[in-house]
Amino acid sequence: METSKKLLASKIYLILAALFITSLVVSNLIFQKFFSWDFFGIYTFEISVGILPYPITFLVTDLISEIYGKKKANQVVIAGIFASFFSLLIVYVSNMVPATAWSPIDNSLFTKVFGLSFVAVFSSMIAYLLAQFVDIRIYHFWKKLTKGKHLWLRNNFSTITSQFLDTFSVLFLLCSFGVIEWNLFTKLLISGFLFKVLIALLDTPILYAAVHFFRRIFKLEVGEEIDLDT
């Protein structure tokens, strides 16, 4: 690959990694707000706002897996772990620092909003590790089995499976820690999983468009990956 194209590929990889890490960190910080969404009268979702940016992480890892390979996808996942725990450290220190008398956000309000961040990040990280690595493994299993064809199959099969594991794991841990009441577990599990499945189906055309763009720009064959390490 030409030096200029390899440099462009590296820059795009960094942008994708930034989107992934930002979506992951933000989802952990805003999870305490819940909302309902009436889906055309068919089903009413009751989900955390933290779920809104989370599907982006799976779209990004699928795209990186397809274009840059399994190794680079795993590297982004690990980077997301460090970013999440570093954000937790920042929130913890911020919570310990006393607010001034004129501060628009006092100590109690700040603690109410961010005080459960440790539990959220811990629960999310356990679920996240399980789901993301399963997603990447299943994605590459189907990629190898189909010889790089049927992108929709590996995208949806890997994402739907890993999203169920993620939703179940994080809700189980949050209920176990007393953040969410157990009587809400089943309802939130169904709502969260169905919402993620819906988003997974909707983002398939986006993945196809992105993969087509990469293959056209970098002249990649079906199943071919960009090697940034050579």
Residue 224: the pLDDT is 84
Fold classification of 3-218 is Arp2/3 complex 21 kDa subunit ARPC3 (1.10.1760)
Domain ranges of the chain: 3-218
- Distance, in Å, from the CA atom of 160 to the CA atom of 200, rounded to the nearest integer, reads 7
Tell me which long-range contacts 5-9 makes (C-beta under 8 A, separation of at least 24): 5/217, 5/218, 6/226, 6/228, 8/217, 9/68, 9/218, 9/226, 9/228
Tell me which long-range contacts 156-159 makes (C-beta under 8 A, separation of at least 24): 156/200, 156/201, 156/204, 158/62, 158/134, 159/55, 159/58, 159/59, 159/62, 159/135, 159/196, 159/200
**Residue 162 backbone dihedrals phi, psi, to 5 degrees:** -70, -30
pTM check: above 0.85: no
Mean pLDDT across the chain, nearest whole number? 84
Q: What is the pLDDT of residues 194-203, one digit of tens each?
A: 888 888 778 8
- Distance, in Å, from the CA atom of 33 to the CA atom of 48, rounded to the nearest integer, reads 6
Residue 116: the pLDDT is 66
Instruction: List, for the chain, all residue ranges whose pLDDT scores fall below the cut of 50.
Output: none
